[in-house]
Amino acid sequence: MVKKPFFALGPPKVKYPVLPGHDVYALTEIPLPKRALFLVEKSGNNGSDLLIKEGDKVRTGQRVVLSEDGGEMLFSTVSGTVREVSQRTGYLGRTLLSISVDVSGEDRWDGEFDRAGRTADVLNATRFLASLPGKPDFAAMINYQPSIDTLVISGMDQDLLVTTNQHTVKTKSAEFKKGIEYLRKITGVSTVILILPPELTSLVEDVDVAVKTMAPVYPDTLPEVVIKDTLGKEVPAGETCEALGVGFMKAEAVAALANAFEQGRMPVDKVLTVIKKDGTAVHVKARIGTPVKDILEALQMETSHGDRLVLGGPMRGQALYSEDVPIGWDTDAVMVQGSEQIVWTSDNQCVNCGECVRVCPARIPVNMLVRLLENSLYEEAASQYDLLSCIECGLCSYVCIARIPVFHYIMLGKYEFDRIQRAEEAHAESEALH
pLDDT at 203: 85
| Contact present, 407 and 319 (Cβ < 8 Å) | no
DSSP symbols for 223-239: HHHHIIIII---PPTT-
pTM for this model (two decimals): 0.91
Q: What is the pLDDT of residues 198-227, one digit of tens each?
A: 988 888 888 889 999 998 999 999 999 999
Higher-pLDDT residue of 261 and 140 is 261
DSSP symbols for 152-207: EEESS-SSTT--HHHHHHHH-HHHHHHHHHHHHHHH--SEEEEEE-GGGGGGGTTS
Higher-pLDDT residue of 357 and 42 is 357
Which range, of 18-27, 54-63, 354-363, averages the lowest pLDDT?
A: 18-27
3-state SS of the chain: helix, strand, coil percent to 5? Answer: 35, 20, 45
Helix H or strand E segment including 308: strand 308-311
% of the chain residues with pLDDT over 70: 94
Q: State whether residue 423 is helix, strand or coil.
A: helix
Q: What is the pLDDT of residues 338-391, one digit of tens each?
A: 999 888 888 888 999 999 999 999 999 999 999 999 999 999 999 999 999 999
Could you tell me the pLDDT band of residue 5, with boundaries at 50, 70 and 90?
A: very low
| Contact present, 83 and 34 (Cβ < 8 Å) | no
Please compute Rg for the chain using Cα positions.
Answer: 22
DSSP symbols for 260-277: HHHHTS---EEEEEEE-T
Q: Mean pLDDT throughout 293-305?
A: 96
Higher-pLDDT residue of 426 and 395 is 395
CA distance to 18, 25, 171, 393, per residue, from 22 (Å):
12, 10, 11, 30
pLDDT at 431: 82
pLDDT at 47: 53
Which range, of 17-26, 48-57, 334-343, averages the lowest pLDDT?
A: 17-26
Q: Mean pLDDT throughout 80-108?
A: 92
Q: What is the pLDDT of residues 302-337, one digit of tens each?
A: 999 999 999 999 999 999 989 999 999 999 999 999
How far apart CA 418 and CA 409 sit, in angstroms, is 14
- What are the backbone angles phi and psi of residue 361, rounded to the nearest 5°? -65, -30
Describe the strand order of the beta sheet including 150-154 as a list of residue ranges. 210-213, 191-196, 150-154, 246-250
Model confidence at 25: pLDDT above 80: no
| Beta strands in 321-380, from DSSP E residues, in sequence order | 333-337
- What are the backbone angles phi and psi of residue 330, rounded to the nearest 5°? -110, 15
Q: Mean pLDDT throughout 230-247?
A: 92
Q: What is the pLDDT of residues 114-166, one digit of tens each?
A: 998 888 888 888 888 888 999 988 877 887 778 889 999 999 999 999 999 99
pLDDT at 107: 96
pLDDT at 6: 42
pLDDT at 1: 41
pLDDT at 3: 53
